[in-house]
Chains A and B, each alone.
Chain A
């Protein structure tokens, strides 16, 4: 059966056999079984190739070739100042170092009663009968989700009780300091009925080493709840980052996602939103800035399964150097999901001769009483606008910086927590070409 296992997939299978005994949640039969099935599927399928429609523009051959360690070696001694550099001033902070929660560096703060902000590994060990459907809610859509399910060792567990309202954002800070490590965090965010919160998931590196982050975040938004999920990806320039975000929304819930892709040599973020009940709304926003030889890929999938749900999506990209960006936005309206309303937009700014963008907005409509539209543009800065600014005494280089920044700012301004807005604005200024 394993005869056709590709080299690297076989390595992962071997690693799984060696270490599966020490992964958390061994007392849960269903979890042991789910892990075994996941690695089985993965070792059979192997890594996706350019022949898979979903990976047509993104080659993961370099991840396959990389020999990553599954377990971290001795833990690094991180200094608090390094954390402070990234911590938002007012947040409920959990810090994960090389994939494991570091309680010493975390700062959960005061939370409303009943709110759980904890480590997934800890919760799995504590809870004798963890309900299966909160972790294995879907057949994993990609080989990377399977890989994560097999190896996940830790991550954030957030549970908001009904009607809880958090004023300050929850910040999940993932710091990778070890080279050649495969970090596979698993986050579970559950918002009870009527609750509201903002959650920031941030991936940063110490140094410029190569490693592989393969993260999965499952989000359940209860009825009438309002949840924001802001993903800030600032991995090291040599790192690989694959992220899967699965969202399931109950009736009348509101979910907002923003994805900021700034770092990594190869980054792919897949966000799937399923409307499980009527009258829900989601907003998916994203901003990708790429330079050098970076490759940034976003795949979003909004599944209108029930009537009267609305979705809005705005992704923007600024490409420089010889970088390449991929955007694939898929909206599916199921039969009987009448009254669905979906809008999707993708704008791209190409700043250099060697950058490349591949965009594919995609609509699949199986109902008739719907309003769906999408639009995509690729181009340069508007020369009329540059001229306008120059006519007012602004040098050409500055005019271009102002316009490029304004292009990106639209996404940043849509982020809820002000402290995060400010932080992103600084990052933007740092990242944009000054010319």
Chain B
């Protein structure tokens, strides 16, 4: 028993595994935000006129907005003038054409993170568009995807090479007026990923991007735009880790998905940014706007997320079901430990006939963690025969944590059916006792029960992500019992 306790102590006091910081020469703008900064970002990225205009419009709109205060999260006020809005690795100017030309310091960072690009190419069959701070450094498998007509590149490249596509779709799901953080992102977004799947193409591999925050005081403002044209299919993975840091970092990304007729987009996220230390100091503020639109008939969009990191997670991946028979799905596991806060959920906006949506949300709170599900299911007058099923379960570990559920249901058509269920419970003493009497340690028992609780969501993840997610939960929960 004593030995067990020591082991627990060890686990509890274990620091963030991915905490390290690489010194790199970066091309960083001085802190502050004004029109000149936006012009400079746009100029540095050699953007066409329309892009700059859009950024400026967004910035001017952002100035008229106020930071929202309706959620249950708490944080000290953010000084937007103390953030540097652009940071690119110096090596970019040399324009690396292949991995061999990439700064070796950068490559070592990826190796520590477990993203050995070359190996991944061969072993996992995953094309990685790695975002180091704000500029994409390397893109793999491009040629192979190119044969099929798939465009998968950094956002800046897309702006330069495919301005007509960017112009047509950018902001069509999340307009720059959408919300405070989306407006800020629209004004200053640095880079991100762009993906276009042409009609009838089934993307042969899981597309993936690694985001990473590195330079001190540089908020990241990625922009991701994925378009699946008629009858196409794409599965996209996004995974994150971040180095240890004492100061809070703002992260306000925007992700837009567009599925045209009969197209399907699967978007999976494993988010494990630095959550702050045991006293709640530091950690990432993750204020993200993610939205997909099933624009065509019979289109499908699914969001799967495993959120274990960040000091504050504030995101509501949503689906607008515009086409008839469109389907939207949301599968989420959100875990908060220590002083982490998560306010997450989804919005399913049913506009088309016979649209379907399914929501499975699993919240786990431990330590002083706060976990809230906030969701909206809206059946418009035109949503004849639409259907929704939502299930939101919360698991509480420890008497200092909190779990909240705020589901909004708005129904304007009688043939629409909406069902919502939510439960809140804790791991029972009897369950733990049962496992322990069969030789499992308390840690393993909790990990097993929690993984069972989340099984429905993990099943939705691609294989390699599912394994990673299970391990992540185990690590994130360390020290939460006893």
Which residues of A come within 8 Å of B, CB atoms? 53, 335-336, 338, 348, 350-353, 355-380
For the complex with contacts A353-B413, A365-B394, A368-B426, 12 further pairs of A-B residues with Cβ separation under 8 Å are A53-B70, A348-B411, A351-B414, A361-B422, A364-B402, A364-B404, A365-B403, A370-B426, A372-B424, A377-B420, A378-B418, A379-B418
Contact A372 B423 (CB under 8 A): yes
Q: Does B434 contact A (CB under 8 A)?
A: no
Chain B window 45-74, contacts with chain A (Cβ cutoff 8 Å), 1 for yes, 0 for no? 000000000000000000000000010000
Contact (A356, B411) CB under 8 Å given A364-B404, A378-B416: yes
* Closest residue of A by beta carbon distance from B423: A373
Q: Which of B404, B417, B418, B419 contacts A363 (CB 8 A)?
A: B404
- Per the bound structure, the CA–CA distance linking A378 and B390 in Å amounts to 12
Cα A379 to Cα B402 in complex, Å, equals: 32
* Contact, CB under 8 Å: A380 / B402: no
Please state if B417 and A361 are interface contacts (CB–CB under 8 Å). no
Contact partners of B422 in chain A: CB under 8 A: 361, 363, 373-375
Q: List 9 A-B contacts (CB under 8 A).
A: A335-B399, A358-B409, A368-B396, A370-B424, A374-B420, A375-B421, A375-B422, A376-B407, A378-B379
Contacts A372-B424, A376-B420 given; indicate if A360 touches B409 (C-beta within 8 A): yes
Chain A residues in 8 Å Cβ range of B379? 378
Chain B interface extent, by class:
20 to 34
Interface of A is mostly: strand
Judge whether B419 and A376 touch: CB under 8 Å.
Answer: yes
Given A368-B426, A373-B424, is A355 in contact with B399 using a C-beta cutoff of 8 Å?
no
B31 within 8 A of A: no
Q: Are A368 and B409 in touch, CB under 8 angstroms?
A: no
Residue of A53, A359, A370, A379 touching B425 (CB-CB under 8 A): A370
Answer whether residue B80 sits at the interface, using C-beta atoms and an 8 A cutoff.
Answer: no
Q: Which one of B70, B396, B414, B424 lies within 8 Å of A355 (CB-CB)?
A: B414
Using CB atoms, name the residue of chain A closest to B374. Answer: A362
- Closest-by-CB residue of B relative to A330 is B406
State in angstroms the CA–CA spacing of A306 and B339 once bound together: 25
User: Does B476 lie at the interface of the complex (its beta carbon under 8 Å from any beta carbon of A)?
Assistant: no
Asked if B400 is an interface residue, CB under 8 A from chain A, the answer is yes
Centre residue among A365, A367, A372 by max chain B CB count within 10 A: A365
Interface mask (B423-446 → A, CB under 8 Å = 1, otherwise 0): 111100000000000000000000
A378 and B417 contact, Cβ closer than 8 Å, known pairs A361-B422, A371-B425: yes
Interface string of B362-383 (1 = CB under 8 A from A): 0000000000000000010000
The chain A residue with its CB closest to the CB of B409 is A359
Q: Across the interface, do A380 and B415 meet the contact criterion of CB distance under 8 Å?
A: yes
Q: Once A and B bind, how many residue pairs between them come within 8 Å at the CB atom?
A: 108
CA distance A367 to B426 in the complex (A): 10
Decide if A362 touches B402 in the complex (CB within 8 Å): no
- Known contacts A378-B416, A378-B418, A370 near B396 by CB under 8 Å: yes
For residue B399, which residues in chain A have a CB less than 8 angstroms away from its CB?
335-336, 338, 367-369
B139 / chain A contacts, CB cutoff of 8 Å: none
Closest to A371 in B: B425
Determine the residue in chain A with the shortest Cβ distance to B421.
Answer: A375
Nearest residue (CB) in B for A325 is B411
CA distance A402 to B249 in the complex (A): 60
B414 touches A376 (CB 8 A): no
A331 → chain B closest CB, angstroms: 9
Q: Mark B329-345, 1 if CB is under 8 A from A, else 0.
A: 00000000000000000
Roughly how many angstroms separate A59 CA and B440 CA in the complex, as a whole number? 57
**Among candidates A361, A367, A368, residue contacting B407 with C-beta atoms closer than 8 Å:** A361
Which of B397, B401, B417 contacts A379, CB < 8 Å? Answer: B417
Contacts of A364 in B (CB 8 A): 402, 404-405
Interfacial chain B residues near A352, Cβ < 8 Å: 414
Smallest CB-CB separation from B384: which chain A residue? A353
Docked Cα-Cα span, A424 to B430, in Å, equals 46
User: Is B247 positioned at the interface, with any CB of A under 8 Å from its CB?
Assistant: no
Nearest A residue to B389 via CB reads A377
Q: How far is the CB of B373 from chain A (nearest CB, A)?
A: 9
Cβ distance A386 to chain B, nearest Cβ, rounded Å? 14
Q: Is the Cβ of B424 less than 8 Å from the Cβ of A363? A: yes
A350 and B404 in contact (CB under 8 A), knowing A373-B421, A374-B422?
no
Please determine whether A365 and B408 come into contact, CB atoms closer than 8 angstroms. Answer: no
Residues of A within 8 A of B401 (CB): 368
Q: When A351-B414, A378-B416 are in contact, do A366 and B402 touch as well, CB less than 8 Å?
A: yes
